[in-house]
């Protein structure tokens, strides 16, 4: 067993503030959409807009961090072991099998996580932002854009992406409870440190 810094300080700050902002955005967003009726529309719009800008700023920092630290490599997808992980979550977890993936700080996401997070980062988030910014600046669309796009279409895409986000959040929160104990995966996300059974093999990141 060894105690390893799995999630660096910025990474944790990014994760939890992003989580908070996403919850705020989902809550206010579904109020704006009309699925919820708990907030005044104007309040929902103001908070939603503010949280969206905050998330964008956070992401700018996060993108910078990922590229300067090389942490973006954590999300390179791999098929190797993917089915083993899927098999584990579908069957192995009930039969008492060990998790097939051995994480290190250099490769901390299992193949399924990598796919999920990559989808989150390259599909859901960009779609939600692009459509959200188009939505926000609807009145300033240049004529060519206004001719090709409608607010209705933008709203549809934005809301569809929001549903995808909600599905992601539900699945993500649930799967975070699937460590050895319910909090085993969550604790390192807070403290940064994780107990690994095999010692860290420094210097040779798994690709």
Q: Which of 13, 101, 138, 185 binds other proteins (CB under 8 A)?
A: 138
Does 41 sit near other proteins (CB under 8 A)?
yes
Which helix (H) or strand (E) segment holds residue 194: the answer is strand 193-196
For residues 115 and 121, what is the distance between their CA atoms, to the nearest angstrom?
A: 10
**172: three-class secondary structure by DSSP:** helix
Contact between 167 and 119 under an 8 Å Cβ cutoff? The reply is: no
Q: What is the dihedral of CA 102, 107, 110, 114, to 10 degrees?
A: 180
Segment lying near other proteins (by CB under 8 A), choices 11-19, 36-44, 101-109, 114-122:
36-44
Q: In angstroms, what is the minimal distance from the CB of 7 to other proteins? A: 24
Binding mask 44-73 for other proteins (x = CB under 8 A): -x---x------------------------
For residues 196 and 207, what is the distance between their CA atoms, to the nearest angstrom?
A: 19
For residues 28 and 49, what is the distance between their CA atoms, to the nearest angstrom?
A: 9
Q: Which of 40, 73, 87, 202 binds other proteins (CB under 8 A)?
A: 40
Segment lying near other proteins (by CB under 8 A), choices 3-11, 27-35, 64-72, 188-196:
27-35
Q: Which of 68, 139, 144, 204 binds other proteins (CB under 8 A)?
A: 139
Does 147 sit near other proteins (CB under 8 A)?
no
Q: In angstroms, what is the minimal distance from the CB of 96 to other proteins? A: 4
> Which residue intervals of the chain are DSSP H helices?
9-33, 41-69, 82-87, 93-95, 111-119, 125-136, 143-148, 151-175, 186-191
Footprint on this chain of other proteins (rule: CB under 8 A): 32-35, 37, 40-42, 45, 49, 93-96, 138-139, 150-152, 155-156, 159-160, 162-164, 166-167, 170-171, 174, 177-178
């Amino acid at each position: 067993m060894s105690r390893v810094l799995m999630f660096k300080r910025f990474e944790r700050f990014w994760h939890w503030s992003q989580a908070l902002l996403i919850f705020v955005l989902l809550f206010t967003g579904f109020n704006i959409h009309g699925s919820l009726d708990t907030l005044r529309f104007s309040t929902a719009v103001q908070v939603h807009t503010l949280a969206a800008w905050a998330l964008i700023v956070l992401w700018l920092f996060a993108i910078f961090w990922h590229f300067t630290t090389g942490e973006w490599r954590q999300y390179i997808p791999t098929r190797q072991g993917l089915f083993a992980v899927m098999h584990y979550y579908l069957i192995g977890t009930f039969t008492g099998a060990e998790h097939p993936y051995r994480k290190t700080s250099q490769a901390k996401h299992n193949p399924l996580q990598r796919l999920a997070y990559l989808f989150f980062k390259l599909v859901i988030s960009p779609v939600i932002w692009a459509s959200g910014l188009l939505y926000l600046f609807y009145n300033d669309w240049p004529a060519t854009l206004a001719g090709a796009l409608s607010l209705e279409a933008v709203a549809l895409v934005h809301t569809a992406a929001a549903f995808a986000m909600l599905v992601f959040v539900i699945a993500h929160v649930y799967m975070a409870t699937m460590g050895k104990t319910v909090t085993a995966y969550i604790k390192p996300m807070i403290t940064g440190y994780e107990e690994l059974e095999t010692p860290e093999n420094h210097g040779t990141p798994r690709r």
